[in-house]
Chains A and B, each alone.
Chain A
Amino acid sequence: MAGPTTPRNLSAVSAPGRDGIGASPPRPDGILKVKGDFAYASDLWHEDMLWGTTLRSPHARARIRSVDVSAALALPGVYAVLTHEDIPGSKFYGLEIADQPVLAIDEVRFHGEPIAIVAADHPETARRAVARIVVDYDVSPAIGPVEALDPERYGHVHAPADYKAHASGNIVHSQHVHHGDGDSAEVRARADVIVRGEYEVGMQDQAFLGPESGLAVPAEDGGIDLYIATQWLHVDRQQMCPVLALPPEKVRLTLAGVGGAFGGREDISMQVHACLLAQYTGKPVKIVYNREESFFGHVHRHPATMVFEHGATRDGRLVFVRAEIVLDGGAYASSSPAVVGNAASLGIGPYVIPNASIDATAVYTNNPPCGAMRGFGAVQMCFGYESQMDRLAAELGMDPVKLRRLNAMEQGSVLPTGQVVDAPAPVAELLRRVEAMPLPAAAYRRTGDGVDLRELPGGVSNSTHGEGVVRGIGYGVGIKNVGFSEGFDDYSTARVRLEVINGAPVALVHTAMAEVGQGGVTVHAQIVRTELGVDLVTIAPADTRVGSAGSTSASRQTYMTGGAVKSAAEAVRGTVLARGRRRHGWTPDLVAGLRLVDGKVVDRADAVVADLVDLLGDEPVDETVEFRHRPTQAFDRLTGQGFGHVQYTFCAHRAVVDVDVELGLVKVVELAAAQDVGKAMNPLAVLGQIHGGSTQGLGLAVMEEIVVAEGRVRNPSFTDYLIPTILDTPPMPVDVLELADPHAPYGLRGAGEAPTLSATPAIVAAIRAATGLALNRVPVRPEHLTGI
């Protein structure tokens, strides 16, 4: 029998294969993962470990008159029951605005808000203890996004004195973008055609498969070691230290295995709770959310209401866009300000439009907090502007792809923020390519036995044998920023060590990058092989002993931590070659042409000038580098002007759907994509990102929504929050372009998010083509398709 999985299982892994960048070697953690030996956060075990559990509010908005924990404490096996009164330091945290209580203080603002935490010897003991905590609530009607805009009448989600940063009224953040002459009367007069549309995007969940979990272990120095599934170790720590009243060196985080993230682990969840319980009891504490708690334990994608007006000339040239966007930020700020910045700055899509006026606002409500999810503000907008492009094409009697290509931005185009696009922007080409892909077979197949239900809307539910089934085709294209924007000091740290072990040169890569499944660890090894010419690469566990890597979000990690690893490897190479220069008297000219290949130092003519093992001897070379992308600027508060984003990324989709128009059921038949990735560092992993992102877009199009009624979440389960199964997901041919971005390492372009944007509008466009319906809301439900 295997022993328990302890933090010791989080050891360095060696990266197999000999491949550098551009190849597709297997994942360093792949063997562990298929054997069931990979240590995810929820797998960790520690001697004498306790289980932590959370009491959460059943109400969206209520005053807490009292909390009585005595009956819970009296239960045998219970070691601690903590409320906000037991917090040693600051009682608030937050990514951008520290407005969220670690545990509720006198009031709750959303359904599921944590009120108390329990540590006990068994999860069932902890649950029984939670059930014995008595909370006296004074419940008020929840404030939704409509009420939020009228605080005079409906009140405030936070007492006005509590507002931090930009907040005023119930507004978390707003951003206006004024471009050209906006939507002035003069501009409007120039448009032959104006189409107006109102659109809505429901609340999507990241639905990563590995629920929030971690193990906090009290250390002898009075500090805490936390083994955790997260997206950004250092920003977790930054928020935890003030609450725990501990200095950073006493709060040490190590990344445990992460079962997906997609933005949902950008905010902290159980991190502080587990540490507080460990601090209080002096024992290791593990917290593992179940699926229901996971729905309450992390932020979701902002629901959006969007009003667009697009004006164009008769021949299809866009003249202006007016957009008004309201995002439901929920009870706490999370990353709402940055989401607003994205919505405003990317709100017209990848098009050249001389005039634009965009207003994006996030409001505080008593709904679940919303924040980061793959696509981050750009997803909602893409559904809006792409729906508008189809509407405009219909109004003009133009082919929708032709209309898009006619107005597509390209390198040199000016964005509404005034930023000039200074890297390839092959929007028209992506559309051309995706349109040119062969179409799937005409329709479901009839065989001798009838039809194969699995090819039909409804699948094996047997709701149609072909009756009512109509095919539709639709297109979408989107624009997403890469990296942290708006003047944020975005950097990543990497340490690369090169040494001789057992007679061979071995490189160690140590970063704090959260590997959440994206394959960053694979690419790091590839980069080091390419730069240092060694086969053997070891990936150290990510932890806070090395500098921050920033978040695994914003499509940024290959660019940023990949860039840092490249820089660190270059520094190592520089040191190695300097050593050769000293030792062998190499001329500067010779050194300038030297490369490390297959464990040798070779010159321009590929002649071996030294053996790496000899150069290294028993003196390892160890370099740590901070890598930054070009600085960006904050958007002007009034006009939205500024060099706000460092890089843009584009994807186009063509969706083919079969719709049972009588029952309103949809089968996506094929979802083809074309995307520019600058440089495919690992082509297999790139496809994985595009397929996975597209499928999340498919989910948003036809099934995924957290249903909230009067602040209450009605479907916090995988029974009722549906994500696509393999029978809902079609073949997805992909055409990958590699047009180098001269500003990025290897010319690469962040790839993870763009496919999530355009899949949704493409599918909805295809459903519109099949049904002739307007469909202004996603997810599209059978009720919408049947008009009932």
Chain B
Amino acid sequence: MRVTFTVNGRPTEADDVWEGESLLYVLRERVGLPGSKNACEQGECGSCTVYLDGAPVCACLVAAGQVQDRAVGTVEGLADGDTLDPVQQAFVDAGAVQCGFCTPGLLVQTHDLLNRAHHPSDAEIREALSGNLCRCTGYEKIMDAVRLAAARKADARGTAPAGSEG
């Protein structure tokens, strides 16, 4: 079947899609966007997290046909050309990337968190990222990266966090 949708704002068409294929497969193998990762394909790791109509979801659990006429956002769409999103820059700067296989999913999930909560507490960060497994970092530097991104975004907005965090 043919599936027509938008990815990172661009109209996209995938042909000869097998009806049992996932959105993840279509992104990775048919439209040249392998940034979303295929770590578990059972919704238990978050590595394939993408935006679907603005909500972060596991692309492995969305049937390809379900994205017809809908909007998908992937890790490849976070940066503005060579300018990284503050979340991406913070992950690089804080040492939150090792093997990097979990990184794309974490970036999308963190991006969503910081859009919804400007000054998340540590407990909120942990709950929001509890669906994203990382096997390399022990999450400490990921916590640092999220705090750093939140702080930089607050700076950019010219707002300081209200009250103490953590």
Contact = CB atoms under 8 A, between A and B. Distances in A.
A and B touch in the complex (CB under 8 A): yes
Interface of A: 1-5, 24, 26-27, 29-31, 33-40, 42-43, 45, 122-124, 206-211, 257-262, 288, 290-291, 452, 454-455, 460, 516-519, 684-685, 687-688, 691-696, 717-719, 723, 725-727, 729, 731-732
A260 to B, nearest CB: 4
Given A3-B32, A5-B34, A691 B99 contact: no
A278 to B, nearest CB: 18
A1 B33 CA distance: 8
Given A33-B103, A685-B95, A688-B137, 4 more contacts: A1-B7, A5-B34, A40-B34, A123-B25
Given A2-B33, A688-B95, A209 B129 contact: no
A485 to B, nearest CB: 25
A517 B42 contact: no
A27 B130 contact: no
25 contacts: A1-B7, A1-B12, A3-B32, A26-B93, A30-B92, A33-B103, A34-B88, A34-B103, A34-B104, A34-B107, A36-B74, A260-B98, A260-B135, A262-B135, A290-B41, A454-B123, A454-B126, A517-B99, A517-B100, A688-B95, A688-B98, A692-B135, A692-B137, A725-B133, A732-B138
Contacts of B34: 5, 36, 39-40, 42-43, 45
Nearest to B35: A36
A718 B44 contact: yes
B78 to A, nearest CB: 8
Nearest to A51: B29
Contacts of B76: 2, 35-37
Given A35-B84, A35-B88, A718-B133, A258 B95 contact: no
Contacts of B139: 691, 695, 726, 729
B38 A288 contact: yes
A460 B79 contact: no
A123 to B, nearest CB: 8
Interface in B82-124: 84, 88-89, 91-93, 95, 97-104, 107, 123
Nearest to B166: A731
Interface string B22-52: 0001001101111111111110110100000
A288 B139 CA distance: 27
Contacts of A727: 126-127, 130
Contacts of B21: 124
Nearest to B45: A718
A258 B103 contact: no
A209 B137 CA distance: 12
Nearest to B38: A42
B91 to A, nearest CB: 5
Contact of B127 (A261, A288, A460): A460
A2 B127 CA distance: 33
B134 interface: yes
A718 B97 contact: no
A691 B137 contact: yes
Contact of B138 (A210, A694, A717): A694
Contacts of A36: 33-36, 74-76, 104
Contacts of B31: 1
A718 B142 CA distance: 21
Contacts of B142: 726
B130 A726 contact: yes
| Interface of chain B, main secondary structure | loop
B45 A209 contact: yes
Contact of A718 (B32, B42, B74): B42
A39 to B, nearest CB: 8
Contacts of A40: 34, 37, 101
A692 B88 contact: no
Interface of B: 7, 10, 12, 18, 20-21, 25, 28-29, 31-42, 44-45, 47, 74-76, 78-79, 84, 88-89, 91-93, 95, 97-104, 107, 123, 125-127, 129-143
A348 B37 CA distance: 42
A600 B21 CA distance: 58
Contacts of A692: 98, 135-138
Contacts of B136: 260, 517, 688, 692
Contact of B79 (A5, A35, A694, A731): A35
B35 A258 contact: no
A31 B93 CA distance: 10
B132 to A, nearest CB: 7
Contact of B28 (A43, A207, A719): A43
A208 B135 contact: yes
Contacts of B41: 290-291
Contacts of A43: 28, 34
Contacts of B101: 40, 208-210, 259-260
A732 to B, nearest CB: 5
A209 B36 contact: no
A723 B79 contact: no
A31 B92 contact: yes
Contacts of A258: 99
A641 B159 CA distance: 66
Contacts of A717: 40, 42, 44
Given A5-B34, A725-B133, A211 B39 contact: yes
Nearest to A683: B95
Nearest to B90: A34
Contacts of B10: 1
Contacts of A257: 100
Interface centre among B10, B36, B45 (most CB of A within 10 A): B45
A470 B95 CA distance: 34
A662 to B, nearest CB: 24
B65 to A, nearest CB: 15
Contact of B133 (A39, A460, A723): A723
Given A33-B97, A260-B136, A685-B95, A291 B123 contact: no
Given A687-B141, A695-B139, A518 B20 contact: no
A210 to B, nearest CB: 4
Nearest to A33: B100
Nearest to A289: B38
6 A-B pairs with the lowest CB-CB distances in the bound complex, closest first: A36-B35, A517-B99, A691-B138, A259-B101, A33-B100, A695-B138
Contacts of B99: 208-210, 258-261, 516-517
Contacts of B78: 35
Contacts of B102: 209
A40 B74 CA distance: 17
B29 A45 contact: yes
Interface centre among B36, B97, B99, B134 (most CB of A within 10 A): B99
A209 B134 contact: yes
Nearest to A40: B101
A176 to B, nearest CB: 36
Given A260-B101, A719-B44, A27 B137 contact: no
A694 B42 CA distance: 26
Interface centre among B32, B35, B102, B129 (most CB of A within 10 A): B35
Interface centre among A288, A291, A717 (most CB of B within 10 A): A291
A27 B75 CA distance: 19
Contacts of B100: 29-30, 33-34, 38, 257, 259, 517
A27 B97 contact: yes
Contacts of A732: 138, 140
Contacts of A37: 35, 76
A460 B107 CA distance: 23
Nearest to A720: B44
Nearest to A517: B99
Contacts of A42: 34, 37-38
A45 B30 CA distance: 10
Contacts of B44: 717-719
Contacts of B37: 40, 42, 209-210, 259
B166 to A, nearest CB: 10
A290 B47 CA distance: 13
A558 to B, nearest CB: 14
Contact of A688 (B39, B127, B141): B141
